[in-house]
Amino acid sequence: MAVLSKPVTEPKSGLSPIPVIDISDPESKNALVKACEDFGFFKVINHGVSAELVSVLEHEAVEFFSLPKSEKTQVAGYPFGYGNNKIGRNGDVGWVEYLLMNANFDSGSGPLFQDLLQNPGTFRKALEEYTISVRKMTCEVLEMITDGLGIKPRNILSNLVSDQNTDSIFRLNHYPPCPLVNVKINGGKNVIGFGEHTDPQIISVLRSNNTSGLQINLTDGSWISVPSDHSSFFFNVGDSLQVMTNGRFKSVRHRVLANSRKSRVSMIYFAGPALTQRIAPLTCLMDNEEERLYEEFTWSEYRSSAYKSRLSDNRLQQFERKTIKQNTLLND
């Protein structure tokens, strides 16, 4: 099955330093900004998303992944649909199966697997209600971040992910128990669920069942495990938000380790802008002497570039201004 491209680094022991933020408190705006700067990752509590809604969707997801593989592969596709082991088209693999969908169900698009489900109406309704609730929470968090940054208008970030033209996607992941977790194969490499990567969108919203596995990479290069918490949501900064803050916020590298005994189910909402949206450092966040670190690009251009890359690639490197300047000098 899947292997990591290099041996797994053990996470540091001790209490988790991951910020926990109560978004029902408006004064948490500064804590959100600090979390984006220091970790690019944080946990949100008192979020207002219905626990019953989450439970229904998770149940429907488990039902889908419990179907025979021959049935699930009937809705295999790229980029949307069912996938197993292979992640993208560039050689990345993982101990995972998944269902990837357009998140704009209210625009008329949606899942294409009606005939495979016992209660397709229940699944679709849960997907629609969940994505609407999570999108609303995401916009609230982005507006609190804008308040913390002290910039106007307040919806400068939330507007990018709030309408029907956005390129947001929704992913259901299932990590089956892996019997090879402690087995060294292919020259001492370890099996992994989902390899290390950053998310290209603006921000991602994750929740999972009570099975651990997610890890994030700290600035010193070490990996720490994210304690599982099925009642909370986890946010991570994406590449596009790192660019818009001119590197002030960090697009966090993360991965998922395989589990030898328990099945893990996760739901990720990737909040992306419209394909035509231009992404560039926000001038309102920069002083007159600060140099722009990135060239401007459209989300469509960046998405296309990301789809051609490997998971672990630094996708932003080719859009860094210093890199372009160095290449220009070398070619002169």
Q: Which residues are catalytic?
A: 264
H helices within 98-249, ranges in order? 120-149, 239-244
Q: Do 96 and 194 touch, CB atoms closer than 8 A? A: yes
What are the backbone angles phi and psi of residue 33, rounded to the nearest 5°? -60, -45
* Contacts of residue 293, Cβ cutoff 8 Å, sequence gap at least 6: 243, 246, 247, 281, 320, 321, 322
The bridge status of strand 41-45 relative to strand 254-256 is unpaired
Q: What are the structure tokens assigned to 28, written together? A: 């948490």
Q: What are the structure tokens assigned to 72, written together? A: 């699930």
**How many other CB atoms sit within 10 Å of the CB of residue 159?**
16
The Cα 292–Cα 295 span in angstroms is 8
CA distances to 177, 213, 218 from 57, rounded to whole Å, are: 21, 21, 32
